[in-house]
Each structure stands twice: as C-alpha cells, then as structure tokens.
Structure 1
C-alpha cells in the first residue's frame, strides 16, 4: 500500500490547494482509494525536517512551496531560502510536483516570461517594478 504524506501549514491556503478542511478532504479521498494518507502541518523548516525524518511515507504531496508562518505569503520568500522541494531533493525523497528551480521560475513572473519568450511562445509586453521603485 502506498503511504502519502500531505504537507500543509499557515501558507497552505495561499500557496496550495486550500485550508485544512480542503486538506482533510484530499486525505479522505486518498484513503478511500485504498492508499494510506497522513497530514503534517508545519510552520517552519525545522518542523518540516522533523516530520520528514520521523514519519513513514512513500510519497510527499505538499501544498507549500516554501514554509512560512505568514499565511498570506505566496511569493518567493527570502533570497537564498530553501523551498520544500529543495529539502525533498536534498533528502532524495519522492514528491509530487516540479523541482524547486522550476517552481521558483513559475512563481517569479518575469522569469516565466523570459523562459516563454526564449522558447518562442508569444507573451504580452510587461514591466517589472522592484519594491520601492514606484
């Protein structure tokens, strides 16, 4: 039987699939499919690493891109900060979703624009305004 670990936290509603009620419904559906599912709610990287070290699972599915105590945070976090996928890659754990570099490029809209433009995909003109530039 496959054991799936769902990871969420204060930023889960803004970053991922929704609040804890939604997470519980996802877990219920996974369990009903014959798989085993456990939920871990973490608010900092130490908690994430502790959960990954102590729980038994075959696959991680995270609602979080990066771990934050700020429930409204969607964006990049601090420069150089590890994201959930960075930690999962370092620990060589299987997970659902893109690697951290891909996720960071997708979240950073100018990086996404540049990737699409380089690949010849038509994209609208845009401007990036740094914080404090306005």
Structure 2
C-alpha cells in the first residue's frame, strides 16, 4: 500500500449516524444529473449508501460496512465506490520517474472514486485516497 507523506491515522471509520441523510440525498440528486439514468427514487437508493467521516490526513481505506465486517481496500483491490459528500479527497500514486508519491487528482463534493474492480477487465491503477480536509464520503459496494 502506498503510504502518504501526510500523517496517517489507522483508525477504522464507522458509519456516522450524526451526518444528515438529507445531505447525502442532495449530493446523490446532483450526481444523478450528470449521469444518463432513468428515474430513480433517490431517497430509497440513498439507504444503500453508508456515510463515513474522516479527518485531514486520514487514509480512506478502512471502512466498516457493518459492525461485523470491515473492508480494508488495497491499492489493486478497490471494490467500494465512494461519493464525496463534503470536503475533498486527494488521490496519490507512485511516480517511478520521480521515485516518490505524487498527487494525481483531487476529488470534490459530488465526484466519485473507487469501484476499480466493478465490471472492468483491465487491472486497476494503484493509488491511495487521503482526506485533504475534514471529509464525509458515502460508500456503496
């Protein structure tokens, strides 16, 4: 796993019941305006997403999807899809020419990352997702 230059906190993020479901619904509605889909009941669909909060520098790779099951994503095994609800997430990857990690993308609210193995026959790119601010992400398997 790529280790960020930021201070990594190895705690597991658990679903955050204090975060308003309406914030997730609003973000999903905005997200769906960018995707050509038939009518979806956003409120019902939002029940399948799990909200998680992270602090600046946290590695977004330990997600508790239920009290009994924790998903530890590996750089080549990202099976969850993440939707940034609030804050920013930075994606870091190893640059062989520079021999160090570099920032390859910043994911803003309403944007997604992950799900690299969902229906793709090509191997996924190794990267590390790091909270670039206090962040709330929603995840769905």
**TM-score, normalised via structure 2 length:** 0.25
**TM-score, normalised via structure 1 length:** 0.26
